[in-house]
Amino acid sequence: MTKKVAIVAVAQTKYEENYYRQSELVYQCVEKVLDETGLTFQEGKGIDSAVTASDDFWDARTISDTPIGDVVGAHYRTEEKVAQDGAQAAFYAYMEILSGHSDIVLVTAHCKESQPISRNIITNAGFDPYFQRSLGLDHLVAAALQAKRYMQTYGITREQCAKAVVKSHKNGKNNPYVTKARNVTVEDVLDSKMLASPISELDIHPVTDGACALIIAEEEKAKKITDNLVWIKGASDCYDAFYLGDRDLANCDSLVSAAKRAYEMAGIKNPSKEIDVAEISTRYSYQEPLWTEGLGFCGRGEGGKLLDEGITEMGGEIPVNPSGGVLVGCPYITAGLARVVEIALQLRGDAGARQVSGAKVGLAHGTSGPCGQLHCVLILGK
């Protein structure tokens, strides 16, 4: 019998460019979850270990978690770093509890996109130096190549993708942690500067800094911490090939696999009917229709229709990104864990003006690597 594991506390910073150090940003969140739970790092009684997500290139130093240890209770204690999206950190922390190694784990993620001279220069370094990097590839180029292939294969239009941007800005206005939401129309998106066809400036997530944190615990200990528990019902991840040309870019089969395993674990047979709310990591607008297809909310090539028909709007059958999501600003690394935080808030009924009423089952998604190489899916439930 698999152990039951619950999220007992969550916190996040505002997502905006700021002058804080990385460790200060993380501590702002750690302080909140410690206050909320009353937990300490006392051995055997408090938080057993920490899993932190950060990246050496984004922080421009090797072993980017070295300054983080002190703010996550790792002095003479344990801490593990995940050098990719923060949803993976939640997944690892979950496995750490399932394995019996720990009972209560603190999970954090941080990134400051505003500190490198550009985000592209960081993501260019992620391409192999033999065949790709010197050509000038970066995540934006990779995303544009995927967008073109996907949109042409299924007849997805720029207007449909722009609707994801409009929805994100509209929803983001209800989220006090979002600072970049404004009145954006489909025309604004289409008219914004074309950077890498078919992706224009407003199709891309704005530059922000931020951090988030959560605490997860096994059932017995979790119940002693709070009555308002959010259970992790299922989790999985899946990689696609590294080289773009090895992949079928019109589809996201690694997301299909990650979702399938997470659904099986959570006993979900019909995701579009059984999931009440989803927070997915869409750095570029075309990723909203594509990822919703991968998650099985609709069939292949039908992601644009979900946006046209308002199915993923607030008040629709399956609201996607009530927080505004990544398209209104949530940095790399942090993005996926912030999706988990948002779903936890939704299921606790603590999502304020962005609350999806009566949400009982939610999905959080994170992604790493160029145009969705790695996907991680977590299913949460009351």
| Contact footprint for other proteins (CB under 8 A) | 16-19, 60, 114, 118, 120-121, 124, 129-138, 140-141, 144-149, 152, 193-199, 241, 243-246, 249
CB of 60 to other proteins, least distance (A): 6
Instruction: State the minimum distance, in angstroms, from the CB of residue 269 to other proteins.
Output: 29
CB of 146 to other proteins, least distance (A): 7
Closest distance of CB 114 from other proteins, Å: 6
HEC per residue, the chain: CCCCEEEEEEEECCEECCCCCHHHHHHHHHHHHHHHHCCCCCCCCCCCEEEEECCHHHHCCCCCCCCCHHHCCCCCCCEEEECCCHHHHHHHHHHHHHCCCCCEEEEEEEEECCCCCCHHHHHHCCCCCCCCHHHCCCHHHHHHHHHHHHHHHHCCCHHHHHHHHHHHHHHHCCCCCECCCCCCCHHHHHHCCEEECCEEHHHECCCCEEEEEEEEEEHHHHHHHCCCCEEEEEEEEEECCCCHHHCCCCCCHHHHHHHHHHHHHHCCCCHHHHCCEEECCCCECCHHHHHHHHCCCCCCCCHHHHHHCCCCCCCCCCCECCCCCHHHCCCCCHHHHHHHHHHHHHHHCCCHHHCCCCCCEEEEEEEECCCCCEEEEEEEEC
Q: Would you say 32 and 213 are in contact if contact means Cβ atoms under 8 Å apart? A: yes
Instruction: Please say which residue, 79 or 293, places its beta carbon nearer to other proteins.
Output: 293
Comparison of 112 and 260: residue with beta carbon closer to other proteins: 112
Of residues 78 and 153, the one with the C-beta less far from other proteins: 153
Looking at beta carbons only, is 133 or 348 nearer to other proteins? Answer: 133
Torsion of CA 197, 203, 207, 212, to 10 degrees: -130
- Cβ distance to other proteins smaller for residue 108 or 123: 123
Q: How far is the CB of 65 from other proteins (least distance, A)?
A: 18
Closer residue to other proteins (CB): 76 or 130: 130
Nearest approach, Cβ of residue 242 and other proteins (Å) = 8
> What is the C-alpha separation between 352 and 185, in angstroms, rounded?
25
Cβ proximity to other proteins, 248 vs 350, nearer residue? 248
Q: How far is the CB of 199 from other proteins (least distance, A)?
A: 8
CB 16 within 8 A of CB 179: yes
CB of 151 to other proteins, least distance (A): 10
The closest alpha carbon to 288, from 184, 169, 114, 121, belongs to: 169
Amino acid symbol at 381:
G
Shorter beta-carbon distance to other proteins: residue 190 or 195:
195
Please state the closest distance from residue 2 (CB atom) to other proteins, in A. 30
Task: Pick between residue 120 and residue 355 the one whose CB is nearest to other proteins.
Answer: 120
